[in-house]
């Protein structure tokens, strides 16, 4: 377990669901027993691992780009080229406009979300134990950024801003406004109904995008916690190994879905009606 004290299964699960939080109002770490209910609380573990994994992604791709060769590539270059080709093909199939941002954005989303999801494969007590006993005596630590709704909704908010940007850029403010008030019913009497329906449809895109990723990764993390909290250490592998193998599929699928839906939404925003 993450600490030397003996936990009941309920206490163990609750302990692993606590974030390492920082209160911007008091400039102090929030302990698991605190219930501040304050807006100015940061989940610094999610922020740290998100940035850290993003740096790993940029470093690997930069190193491969600098050392790329036209001769027989090494395994790392081959893997990176396969990922780029995979993402590029999906962008070409779905997005029919012209943009220099969509392909790099899609690649970044796919790899970054995949790396964040991949943290769920690590043993549930490994990094929290190191953080508590060998680093800074951290009271809590969660290492899967995509299991934090703040991270997933922040990413989907960025996609939503791009949806609005491309909608106004391609269609103009007047054209975008007409889409909101004249669809699906074109008669002026239905303007309030159209505005309500289109607003719900527009806002549901980032919300569903973020909550889908969060829900799947949170559930996967919770299952690992339940296995570790309810079974003795010597028998945990009987469930952990099969679930980890299956979870790799979920990790990849969720990264793919986040990328594909981003491309679809931006493609829809770029269409002229």
Would residue 216 show up in a list of annotated catalytic residues for this protein?
Answer: yes
Active-site residue, from 99, 150, 154, 212: 212
Q: What angle do CA 241, 149, 215 make, to 5 degrees?
A: 45
Would residue 212 show up in a list of annotated catalytic residues for this protein?
Answer: yes
> Whose CA is closest to 80, among 107, 109, 117?
107
Active-site residue, from 18, 43, 216, 270: 216
How far apart CA 194 and CA 178 sit, in angstroms, is 10
Helix (H/G/I), strand (E/B), else coil: 6: coil
Active-site residue, from 74, 199, 204, 208: 208
CB 107, CB 87: distance < 8 Å: yes
The strands making up 21-23's β-sheet, listed across from edge to edge, are 28-30, 21-23, 41-43
Q: What is the DSSP letter of 134?
A: I
Residue 66 host element (H or E) = helix 44-67
Name the residues annotated as catalytic: 208, 212, 216
């Amino acid at each position: 377990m993450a600490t030397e004290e003996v936990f009941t299964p309920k206490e163990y699960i609750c302990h692993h669901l606590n974030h390492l939080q920082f209160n911007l109002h008091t400039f102090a770490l929030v302990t698991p027993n605190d219930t501040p209910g304050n807006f100015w609380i940061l989940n610094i573990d999610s922020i740290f691992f998100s940035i850290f994994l993003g740096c790993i992604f940029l470093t690997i791709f930069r190193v491969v780009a600098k050392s790329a060769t036209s001769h027989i590539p090494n395994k790392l270059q081959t893997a990176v080229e396969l990922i780029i080709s995979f993402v590029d093909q999906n962008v070409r199939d779905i997005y029919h406009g012209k943009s220099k941002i969509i392909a790099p954005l899609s690649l970044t989303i796919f790899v970054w979300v995949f790396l964040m999801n991949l943290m769920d494969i690590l043993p549930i007590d490994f990094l929290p134990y190191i953080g508590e006993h060998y680093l800074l005596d951290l009271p809590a630590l969660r290492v899967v950024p995509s299991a934090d709704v703040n991270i997933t909704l922040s990413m989907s908010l960025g996609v939503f801003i791009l949806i609005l940007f491309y909608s106004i850029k391609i269609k103009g403010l007047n054209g975008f406004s007409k889409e909101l008030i004249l669809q699906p019913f074109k008669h002026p009497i239905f303007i309030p109904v159209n505005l309500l329906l289109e607003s719900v449809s527009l806002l549901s895109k980032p919300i569903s995008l973020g909550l889908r990723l969060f829900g799947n990764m949170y559930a996967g993390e919770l299952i690992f916690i339940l296995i570790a909290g309810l079974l003795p250490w010597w028998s945990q592998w009987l469930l952990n190994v099969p679930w980890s193998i299956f979870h790799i599929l979920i990790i990849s699928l969720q990264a793919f879905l986040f990328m594909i839906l981003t491309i679809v939404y931006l493609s829809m925003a770029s269409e002229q009606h």
